[in-house]
Structure formats: structure tokens, C-alpha cells
Chain A
Amino acid sequence: DQQVKQNSPSLSVQEGRISILNCDYTNSMFDYFLWYKKYPAEGPTFLISISSIKDKNEDGRFTVFLNKSAKHLSLHIVPSQPGDSAVYFCAASLDYGGATNKLIFGTGTLLAVQP
């Protein structure tokens, strides 16, 4: 049962334009959502997060939007740069009990920013 879905396996964008990466989820108990970026042969690196009580969080060129009623979040990158080319994972945090929670990841979207 895939609780976090990234339905677009890949996305190609021109340098300077906006990149929009989408993520859908099914579990209304998720309390935080995170985006991670991954380059080949490296581990994922944290990019930005948003609490489930917010609808927007911005950090420089990166903005995450959360639509709880639609169980949908998106990551906007403006302007896109060639160095942004990577796999982007959406992740959701779920309470595991005992003051612990765990991350559930989507399958990732490969972003290619064309110069």
C-alpha cells in the first residue's frame, strides 16, 4: 500500500523557468512533509519541510505548498538551475509511538533542467 505517491517519474524544464514537482498522499495522520534531493551515487539530502498545519513554506528558490483537503503537496523551484537536476523524493512523517516517528517516501521524480 503506497501511502506517498509521486506519479511523475520524470520532469524536464528549461533553465530559468519554474519546476513544479507533485506528491499525493493517502494517510491523513501524516504530521510533517519533507522533500529530499538525491544526486547519483549519493544519499538523499534534506531540502525543505512543512508542517501539516501550514499551507506554505518558503526557503530561497524553493517553496512547498500543502493542500490538505486534496492530500496533495508540491515543490516549486524558481528559477530552475542546471544544478537542480536530481531525483526529488517526497516524504511524510508518521507517528510510530513512544515519541518517535518515521518517514514514508515516495518513489521520486527525476528533474532535468536544460541549459
Chain B
Amino acid sequence: DTAVSQTPKYLVTQMGNDKSIKCEQNLGHDTMYWYKQDSKKFLKIMFSYNNKELIINETVPNRFSPKSPDKAHLNLHINSLELGDSAVYFCASTRGTTSYNEQFFGPGTRLTVL
């Protein structure tokens, strides 16, 4: 009965490959997010969707494409992976669109690009 789940937990791949990370929340929340935590431990927002609509799109290379098939799912597809994409990616969800509501985070996906 995990609230926010991500798959896979670990992902090791070669440069140039395309990969996807999946996220699902069973909290009935309207808004979902993708965050990236880099090697310097900065946790930065990448995207946010509210009821399948993109509402936050930070300065992220267009190799990253989020997709929300329904409000319980937000997937992240990354094309042509680069070394600098290595990071931990966290999915999160919240009620409403204001981020000062408590955000619930998934356990993270550690992506390593070789």
C-alpha cells in the first residue's frame, strides 16, 4: 500500500540509450512532480502535472519528456542519455497545486549512465 511508488529503483545504462522511469500514487492527489537530485545533493524540480496537464516546466533539456496518462501516473522518458543525467530522480504528489501543501515523495530512482 505504498503511497508513491517508482520503478525501477536502480537503473544502469549506457550513454545514448533511451530509458523510462514510472511513478504511481494511490493518494488521490491532483498534482505530481519530478525532481532531480544531483551529485551535489541539490534537489531541483523538473516538471509538474495537475490532472494530466503540464503546469511547471523548468529549464530541462528536451531529451526529458514527462507523460501523464492519468492523474495517478507520471512517467519520465529520457532520450539519448548523457553522463550528466546520472542522479537520483524523485517523484512526488500533493493535493491541489500549491506546493506548500505537504508533498509525498517516492523512494527515488538512482540512474547511472556509463
Please name all residues of chain B whose beta carbon is closer than 8 Å to the beta carbon of A43 when the two chains form the complex: 4, 90, 92, 104-108
Establish whether residues B55 and A105, one from each chain, have CB atoms under 8 Å apart when the complex forms.
no
Cβ-neighbour of B97 out of A51, A100, A103, A108 (below 8 A): A100
A21-65 contact mask (Cβ, 8 Å, vs B): 1 or 0: 000000000011010100001111110010100000000000000
A98 on interface, CB distance cutoff 8 Å: yes
Q: What is the bound-complex CA distance between A34 and B106, given in angstroms?
A: 18
Chain A residues with a Cβ closer than 8 Å to the other chain, count: 26
A68 on interface, CB distance cutoff 8 Å: no
In the assembled complex, the CB of A42 is this many whole angstroms from the nearest CB of chain B, namely 5
Establish whether residues B99 and A107, one from each chain, have CB atoms under 8 Å apart when the complex forms.
no
Establish whether residues B50 and A100, one from each chain, have CB atoms under 8 Å apart when the complex forms.
yes
Write the residues of chain B forming the contact surface with A, with a CB cutoff of 8 angstroms: 4, 40-45, 48, 50, 55-56, 58, 90, 92, 97-100, 102-108
Write the residues of chain A forming the contact surface with B, with a CB cutoff of 8 angstroms: 2, 31-32, 34, 36, 41-46, 49, 51, 89, 93, 96, 98-105, 107-108
CB-based closest 9 A-B pairs: A43-B105, A32-B100, A105-B43, A46-B102, A93-B100, A100-B97, A103-B99, A107-B41, A100-B55
